[in-house]
A and B are shown apart, each in its own frame.
Chain A
């Protein structure tokens, strides 16, 4: 195997610049004559804005302009749209109240944008923002989802603060299954609210060129083309030809940088108003307040089983917090990316799910690593564990008993998805073997002798990735197509420039995609250059989220390479005086079958640009563009097993061991894939043990608004994760790949909480903080002593 080929752990191309401090993140960019924006944010959760007096601020030192929602309204600036229409149980579209970049009548969460101050320096902008006087007529904040239906209205358009009341699945089939059940396991769950915390805070620079009447926007975006589409078509009403969006190096996203936010919109708009580049970079406190948050479900779940442990039916009732406004994809996350995954890896024949999407006076909630799928896995894998305990069955064996079998693929679930492929038992077996399951009871006894509680927890997750077949998502309400595009261009001297609509913000596309192209075209890996993150250079794109880059973006690249090869074949045939049908392409060479005639790819590329001896009717150049629209989702799946030890004296949970066995289909770069798994698990463990976004239920203030209050996982919180792989290749994309970016975050919370509840022999909600764990452990000790 060549060391840069497919399947090799090639070291990353992008690392040199990051390791030497030469990365180019948005805040590293400065434009001549730039001014700085500061947003005056609402200090209260819910209020009518009765007046804004910015007189003094406008006169302050260095101030260039102060803008309010009224200025934007006068200029015809629109509302930030939600790109997915969810149709509720009664056939009506979800409630879609407007979300203006600067508020017009009311503030709806702490951090809402009230005014924008632009000044020569950042400190002048901040000082002037402090001088703006705003009169708020405060209203009762709606924080708790449970009581939101009967609380003060956040939007006139949404009675009961209900955005949608949606369902999926056959309710009567489920009722029938429950009527026949020998056992019903039940559970109430909280999927705690998280703050994404990419380490690079969001930032934007808006620039306007009056000579061409065009804009350039630098933004920390996971999908520059989509941001351009939203800015142009929905908010600022500009032709796409007049707006270039550049998302340079981006320091992590995890979903939070998919969306079109108020700030980049305002900077773009204001750049023209003030005639100078306008720069804004979030302070971390602003990131906490205004980055779209994740998760935040409360759920009741019931699983019906027969006496032997076969799953008969699953019933799920969820309330999902959407926050104060609908962020770009907020509606599809707790619906189509959630309820459709409730079959898990199992043959449960009847499933029904009801989801109520609620408005509250909190930051908007949208996709965060996994987006809906971690919530689904948490529901399924926690209730399966509870059922195993109630039936007194081995949790691994209960899962095995209900797995979809290899001969059942393609498998149509009762919740819309059609799994193309999978093989779940080998994955489970490998995980069991890696963790040495058979001797767990000895390890548990050993812990007990040391006064500790040991537990083991499983998570057999599945996810739908590679978002997504456009016609399918269109029929479900998506406002966009979810294809990807790629342009593969040979330069005359044999190097290749690849322009991809996928965006790398840590995933290492420059390396993996180069491996792919080098392999396809049979050229040196070093000769491939990957260009991403600039609508001015890349034909089109839908960006990176939902573990789609390789499955969709990589497939588009693969298709473009195929087109390059096809054209090359014609040129080669001409040069070798053969007919194209007789010319084969392999390892970078065109050969005429049955002869020793051969032409290297680089020579063909040169000929394409210096076409002195050239086939008739063939255009010069070797530069092809392809779009790829997936035929189905991909279905990565796997088993994670966590083993924990709890100290009842301190309530501390120590992760003793972690085994992750994943089936991601074909793997191009195992090193990068393992890195993705580690990072995903760390975020999942963060959710289960440390992280929790809390708003004060009376005032609506964000209590966990800094790293002093929001517990981020640190290096000493983790063991060494042990990662294994099994492979069943995706059947419907040209690469056989499934995607790996979200798996860890999807699998981990359930595995860890199953382990902790196993150790404690009692239910506990995330995060399993030392205090909560300690109280339970102490109560048990007291109980045992009595």
Chain B
């Protein structure tokens, strides 16, 4: 067993876990933060995207031990005091989600995109989302939502 400590959504946590524990398992099973999802076993779908030290990362592809001491943000840490972040609000406004399963990963990934590129073209948005699979929406309204959030966040 191994003791890991990190900051998750602003709170410091320390847990003793099996050294093989993936970050996504750590979040879901040990912290009960079940908003981060698992959609695949080959690091392809992006349902598990979180931010580690401000960068998007696939939580299914890292060990909890690897992020020792890091600052982790999950989908649960995005809204403030119950108010949706402009990115979340835009997903709602533009119907960028249906079943909601890919949604946390999409939102986390989109937030990272805008950090790198606050004014992306549609093509750049679509390209950035290559690592996030959505089976429901056909992506069109996700792109629309991200563009609308980008505009909102620029202003």
A706 contacts which of B42, B84, B135 (Cβ < 8 Å)? B42
Inter-subunit contact A20/B136 (CB<8 Å): no
Given A19-B92, A284-B40, 20 more A-B residue pairs with CB atoms under 8 Å apart are A11-B92, A17-B100, A18-B100, A20-B35, A21-B104, A25-B34, A199-B45, A199-B135, A199-B136, A249-B100, A251-B99, A251-B101, A506-B99, A507-B98, A508-B98, A678-B140, A678-B141, A707-B45, A716-B130, A718-B139
A714 neighbours in B (Cβ, 8 Å):
126, 129-130, 133, 139
Complex CA–CA separation, A250 to B98 (angstroms): 10
A201 neighbours in B (Cβ, 8 Å):
38-39
B10 to chain A, nearest CB (A): 15
Most chain B beta carbons < 10 A, residue from A19, A22, A30: A19
Most chain A beta carbons < 10 A, residue from B76, B88, B100, B132: B100
Q: Given A284-B40, A675-B141 in contact, is the A21-B34 Cβ separation under 8 Å? A: yes
Decide if B37 is an interface residue (CB 8 Å cutoff).
yes
Complex CA–CA separation, A683 to B133 (angstroms): 12
B34 neighbours in A (Cβ, 8 Å):
21, 24-25, 27-28
B1 to chain A, nearest CB (A): 13
Decide if B125 is an interface residue (CB 8 Å cutoff).
yes
Complex CA–CA separation, A721 to B141 (angstroms): 10
Q: Which chain B residues numbered 11 to 41 have a C-beta less than 8 Å away from chain A? A: 18, 20, 28-29, 33-41
Decide if B127 is an interface residue (CB 8 Å cutoff).
yes
B121 to chain A, nearest CB (A): 12
Complex CA–CA separation, A716 to B127 (angstroms): 6
Complex CA–CA separation, A285 to B40 (angstroms): 8
Inter-subunit contact A715/B39 (CB<8 Å): no
A715 contacts which of B45, B100, B135, B143 (Cβ < 8 Å)? B143
Most chain B beta carbons < 10 A, residue from A30, A198, A199, A674: A199
A202 to chain B, nearest CB (A): 12
B135 contacts which of A19, A252, A671, A681 (Cβ < 8 Å)? A252
Q: Which chain A residues numbered 704 to 748 have a C-beta less than 8 Å away from chain B? A: 706-708, 712, 714-716, 718, 720-721, 744
B45 neighbours in A (Cβ, 8 Å):
199, 284, 707
Complex CA–CA separation, A28 to B133 (angstroms): 20
Interface size class of B (residues with CB under 8 A): 35 or more
A28 neighbours in B (Cβ, 8 Å):
28, 34
Inter-subunit contact A12/B95 (CB<8 Å): yes
Inter-subunit contact A198/B107 (CB<8 Å): no
Complex CA–CA separation, A434 to B46 (angstroms): 35
Inter-subunit contact A22/B35 (CB<8 Å): yes
B100 neighbours in A (Cβ, 8 Å):
14-15, 17-19, 23, 249, 251, 506
Inter-subunit contact A12/B92 (CB<8 Å): yes
Inter-subunit contact B138/A679 (CB<8 Å): yes
A285 contacts which of B33, B41, B127, B130 (Cβ < 8 Å)? B41
Decide if A328 is an interface residue (CB 8 Å cutoff).
no
Inter-subunit contact A506/B98 (CB<8 Å): yes
A681 neighbours in B (Cβ, 8 Å):
138
Q: Mark A587-599, 1 if CB is under 8 A from B, else 0.
A: 0000000000000
Q: Given A20-B75, A21-B104, A28-B34 in contact, is the A284-B136 Cβ separation under 8 Å? A: no
Q: Given A252-B136, A506-B136, A716-B127 in contact, is the A21-B35 Cβ separation under 8 Å? A: yes
Decide if B112 is an interface residue (CB 8 Å cutoff).
no
| Closest Cβ neighbor of B20 among chain A residues | A123
Q: Given A678-B140, A682-B138, A721-B138 in contact, is the A715-B130 Cβ separation under 8 Å? A: yes
- A sample of 29 cross-chain residue pairs with beta-carbon separation below 8 angstroms, ordered by A number, consists of A15-B100, A16-B84, A19-B88, A19-B107, A21-B35, A23-B101, A28-B34, A197-B135, A250-B99, A252-B98, A285-B41, A506-B136, A671-B95, A675-B136, A678-B140, A681-B138, A706-B41, A706-B42, A707-B40, A707-B44, A714-B126, A714-B129, A715-B125, A715-B132, A715-B139, A716-B127, A716-B129, A716-B130, A718-B140
Decide if B79 is an interface residue (CB 8 Å cutoff).
yes
| Closest Cβ neighbor of A708 among chain B residues | B42
A358 to chain B, nearest CB (A): 28
Decide if B150 is an interface residue (CB 8 Å cutoff).
no
Complex CA–CA separation, A28 to B29 (angstroms): 9
- Secondary structure at the B interface, as helix, strand, loop or mixed, is loop
Complex CA–CA separation, A621 to B6 (angstroms): 54
Inter-subunit contact B44/A708 (CB<8 Å): yes
Most chain B beta carbons < 10 A, residue from A23, A27, A250, A706: A23
Complex CA–CA separation, A372 to B37 (angstroms): 32
Number of interface residues of A (CB under 8 A): 56
Inter-subunit contact B79/A20 (CB<8 Å): yes
Complex CA–CA separation, A508 to B98 (angstroms): 7
Inter-subunit contact B99/A200 (CB<8 Å): yes
Decide if A672 is an interface residue (CB 8 Å cutoff).
yes
A611 to chain B, nearest CB (A): 39
Decide if A505 is an interface residue (CB 8 Å cutoff).
yes
Complex CA–CA separation, A714 to B125 (angstroms): 12
Q: Which chain A residues numbered 1 to 55 have a C-beta less than 8 Å away from chain B? A: 11-12, 14-25, 27-28, 30
Complex CA–CA separation, A9 to B127 (angstroms): 29
Inter-subunit contact B134/A284 (CB<8 Å): no
A284 neighbours in B (Cβ, 8 Å):
39-42, 45
Decide if B102 is an interface residue (CB 8 Å cutoff).
yes
Complex CA–CA separation, A525 to B138 (angstroms): 28
| Closest Cβ neighbor of A22 among chain B residues | B35
Q: Given A199-B134, A708-B42, A715-B130 in contact, is the A672-B99 Cβ separation under 8 Å? A: no
A111 to chain B, nearest CB (A): 15
A619 to chain B, nearest CB (A): 40
Q: Given A23-B35, A681-B138 in contact, is the A199-B93 Cβ separation under 8 Å? A: no
B20 neighbours in A (Cβ, 8 Å):
123
Complex CA–CA separation, A683 to B135 (angstroms): 8
Complex CA–CA separation, A507 to B98 (angstroms): 6
Closest 6 CB pairs of A and B: A21-B35, A18-B100, A251-B101, A506-B99, A682-B138, A678-B138
Q: Given A11-B92, A20-B84, A679-B136 in contact, is the A252-B44 Cβ separation under 8 Å? A: no
Decide if B3 is an interface residue (CB 8 Å cutoff).
no
Q: Mark B44-83, 1 if CB is under 8 A from A, else 0.
A: 1101000000000000000000000000001110110000
Complex CA–CA separation, A198 to B135 (angstroms): 6
Complex CA–CA separation, A714 to B39 (angstroms): 15
| Closest Cβ neighbor of B101 among chain A residues | A251
Complex CA–CA separation, A363 to B111 (angstroms): 39
Inter-subunit contact A707/B133 (CB<8 Å): yes
Q: Which chain B residues numbered 104 to 131 have a C-beta less than 8 Å away from chain A? A: 104, 107, 122-123, 125-127, 129-130
Q: Mark A679-694, 1 if CB is under 8 A from B, else 0.
A: 1111100000000000
Complex CA–CA separation, A251 to B97 (angstroms): 11
Inter-subunit contact A720/B107 (CB<8 Å): no
A15 neighbours in B (Cβ, 8 Å):
91-92, 97, 100
Decide if B8 is an interface residue (CB 8 Å cutoff).
no
A19 contacts which of B18, B33, B91, B101 (Cβ < 8 Å)? B91
A716 neighbours in B (Cβ, 8 Å):
123, 126-127, 129-130
Decide if B151 is an interface residue (CB 8 Å cutoff).
no
Inter-subunit contact A505/B99 (CB<8 Å): yes
A477 to chain B, nearest CB (A): 31
A16 neighbours in B (Cβ, 8 Å):
84, 92
Complex CA–CA separation, A681 to B141 (angstroms): 13
B109 to chain A, nearest CB (A): 10
| Closest Cβ neighbor of A686 among chain B residues | B135
A533 to chain B, nearest CB (A): 13
| Closest Cβ neighbor of B82 among chain A residues | A20
A706 neighbours in B (Cβ, 8 Å):
40-42, 44
B33 neighbours in A (Cβ, 8 Å):
21
B48 to chain A, nearest CB (A): 11
Q: Given A19-B103, A715-B143 in contact, is the A199-B39 Cβ separation under 8 Å? A: yes
Decide if A254 is an interface residue (CB 8 Å cutoff).
yes
B143 neighbours in A (Cβ, 8 Å):
715
B95 neighbours in A (Cβ, 8 Å):
11-12, 671-672, 674-675
Q: Which chain A residues numbered 468 to 522 have a C-beta less than 8 Å away from chain B? A: 505-508
